[in-house]
Amino acid sequence: MNGIHNVSVPDCGTFTGALERVFAFAVTVEHYMQAGLAARGLTRARATVIWHLHRQGPATQQQLARTIGVTARNITALVDGLAEAGFVRRDPHPDDRRAVLVRLTDAGEAVTAQLTADYQAGSARLFTGLPPEQVRQFLAMMETVATRLSANQPTGAATTSKIC
């Protein structure tokens, strides 16, 4: 009878240990990112604005706020800081006298190139020498875990049924 009950029972200790590793990994990645950005005079929020401008081109502050999901007050502070650091400038909008376009300066383009090089070097440090199949498995597992995490955002109450 005991054998029947133990056949498909998950090892909850393993689940807990795996989640602890996911959290530890997230903290390690966050510190790695913050250090790299700080070395370039950026925060994650400011880097997000720079990446958006690099990929999409000049934008109004309203477009930036909507795209990256921040308030008008927040985007103003971000753009002010980036302008003060010399990474962006505000130019008159060609079609709307009330609006300005935020665009990268040469320094903004240069920091984007540096971040891209840092990203590529970091990728090489982490994954060079690993068998391609192991990298594919890692990416597939990360995708699965990320999808599950985003589907189960905490709301203050348990959102999944109890397994153990």
| Residue 45 host element (H or E) | helix 44-56
- Domain annotation covers residue 160: no
Residue 160 DSSP symbol: S
- Domain annotation covers residue 162: no
For residues 113-121, give the mean pLDDT: 92
Residue 126: pLDDT over 70: yes
CATH code of 138's domain: 1.10.10.10
Question: What DSSP letter does each residue of 4-28 carry, written as one string?
Answer: HHHSS---HHHHHHHHHHHHHHHHH
Residue 7: pLDDT over 80: no
- Domain annotation covers residue 7: no
Which residues form the domain of 133?
12-150
Which pLDDT tens digit goes with each residue over 136-161? 999 999 999 989 888 877 665 444 44
| Residue 90 host element (H or E) | strand 88-92
Confidence band for 1, pLDDT divided at 50, 70 and 90: very low
- Domain annotation covers residue 3: no
pTM: 0.73
- Domain annotation covers residue 140: yes
78, 49 contact by CB (below 8 A):
yes
Which pLDDT tens digit goes with each residue over 58-94? 999 999 999 999 999 999 999 999 999 999 999 999 9
Domain count, the chain: 1
- Domain annotation covers residue 107: yes
